[in-house]
Amino acid sequence: MSGKVRDYQQLAKDILEAVGGEENVIGATRCATRLRLVLKRSNPKAKEQVASMPGVITVVENGGQFQVVIGQHVGEVYEKFAGLVKLDTSDEAGGNKGTVLNRVIATMSAVFAPFIYILAAAGILQGALILINLVFPSFAKTGTYQVFSFISWASFTFLPIFIAMTASKHFKTNMYIAVACCAALVSPTWADMAAQIATGKSITFLGMALSKTTYTSSVLPPLFLVWILSYLEKFLNKRMNEVIKPLFVPFLCMVIMVPLTILVIGPITTAGANGIASGYNFLAEHVPALAGAIIGGFWQVVVIFGVHWGITPMVLANFDLHGRDSFQAYQTIAVIAQVGAVLGVILKTKNQEVRKVSVSAGVTGLFGITEPAIYGVTLKFKKPFIFGCISGAIGAIVASFFNPYYFAYAGLPGPLTVVNGISAEYPMSIWGILIGVAIAVILPVVLIQIFGYGEDTAKKADNEKQEQGGADLQVNSLQNNEETVAAPFIGKVIPLSEVPDAVFSSGAMGQGVAIEPSGNKVYAPFDGTVVMVAPTKHAIGMRSQSGVELLVHVGLDTVTLAGKPFTLHVKDGDKIKKGDLLSSFDKEFIQNRGLQTITPVIITNSHAYKEVIVEDVKNSTLDQELFTVVK
């Protein structure tokens, strides 16, 4: 449930508690939008619980990870989460590491995510220089250009050092030793030696011939170096005397790992990365329309499962080998297609809450981050996501006829990086990208206006009911920018702050009250739609005709009862009228299990309204007004 949250410490605590506490967490990393956890044991109920927290967009379990999609504030949540856990570094931590592919993807995410914004910023600077040179050709001869140019390339030149820092944390080895080894790989001296070897000169190390491979901008050589280093350092630490260990462990690691990388690891891994890049390039050059259709149409599907980091080595290899890459050109069109789908929803919807969420997600998408758009809007309503994928595929197919390339790496491909497709050597590249982008923006907007975005039919039916039945009390109040919400059952009203559950009492879930029910039935508090029924039947989410979202959570910790004491009378998507029976429950069963029946009644989208007035009542009846919502 997406929503505003500023108490990152509390959110981190809530997530940690939901996934089973510190003892169940093996690893924690983050990417641009996700908190990625590796757990010893997976609890199916945790996914639902965490996904319902304010500030959390959704939860995805994939790649052996419990991925909490948070969005732009993931850094703050990760920082607080990391302060709460002491991760298990033992080899015996019996976690579910998943398949080899899943572990590779998890590693790529952990390594690249912390500095992806640095690469993205450098890519934007390169794009800006391309634009300036296009308008003022003489600028390229100035010292100002040279300074900005080497700034924009520095992060790529010394990429192995960034990898050393993040990979050492992921593989749990000494960061400074890792940096020292990887710094040697980008030493200007080695670059000179490799250049001499490339001209035909033979240079040997202990009688073994060295290769001409260079490691600036490389990905796999430093990554494998640090991985193997983690085992070597652990081996030495276990067997070396404590007195000499601080000096001789780094000494032996450097004199072993750097030559080993130059002789074996570097050439093999570089050949592997280049081979994958060559395979993609063969497809892109010989069947470009197919390459465009696949990337433009399915890239955002890959993003859903959080496995998109796995492509980074191939893309960087393309830039290193050829100085250009078509994958990111198609990728940009796929990203912009989802932004176009969000724009289509903004133009189509009459629901202010949907529009507000869509605008926020669309702005984030301008920076190449589409998770908020996907989980908050397009995938939520399904049609926009499908239209976005179709538009991305068509846009990329059309662009493929113009040989589109990126000539500067974009950490987060999107609208701001389109200029990276400008090149005098390939003048049609940028035109292909721009045409593809135009299709990606316009086509989903048109499709959504014609076919709707997923809620139009329901809203049309609501409007017809209002026209046929006249304006009732609820509609009259809406005309005055107010809506009243009645109590869902009879009972004693308790201030939310007194609920013995921090998730509710803190107000993080939204404003509301709690009721100690005197009966065992839950009734609809307004006319609207059921939008969520928990698989364990203990909670029901509703949305009124005007967009007020209400959560009725029967009891505390009742999710642990697996639905046994609950009987549902509605399902997701059902239309409800005020007073309709929604569910019934066995109070004695709940209490006999040592749980409380105190029921939080929460307006989960409180932040969308000017004011939520909680009525001063001690006991509720079915006609009792609990809240007045002011737009």
The residue count of the chain comes to 631
Catalytic residue among 170, 553, 569, 607: 553
Match 């990329």 to its residue by tokens. 396
The C-alpha angle 472, 475, 476, rounded to 5 degrees, equals: 80
The C-alpha angle 478, 479, 484, rounded to 5 degrees, equals: 25
Annotated catalytic residue 181: no
> Rounded to whole angstroms, what are the CA distances from 16 to 4, 28, 84, 451?
19, 11, 8, 42
Query: Is residue 352 within 8 Å of 306, Cβ to Cβ?
Result: no
Strands of 77-119, DSSP E: none
Say which amino acid occupies 443: L
C-alpha 371/C-alpha 364 separation (Å) is 9
C-alpha 444/C-alpha 332 separation (Å) is 15
End-to-end CA distance of the chain: 21
Count of CB atoms situated within 10 Å of the CB of 577:
10
Closest CA to 583 of 508, 489, 451, 492: 489
Annotated catalytic residue 553: yes
Catalytic residue among 31, 181, 253, 389: 31
- What does the radius of gyration of the chain's CA atoms come to, in whole angstroms? 28
C-alpha 582/C-alpha 72 separation (Å) is 36
Count of CB atoms situated within 10 Å of the CB of 131:
11
C-alpha 184/C-alpha 193 separation (Å) is 13
CB contact set of 139 (below 8 Å; sequence gap of 6+):
132, 133, 145
Instruction: List active site positions.
Output: 31, 553
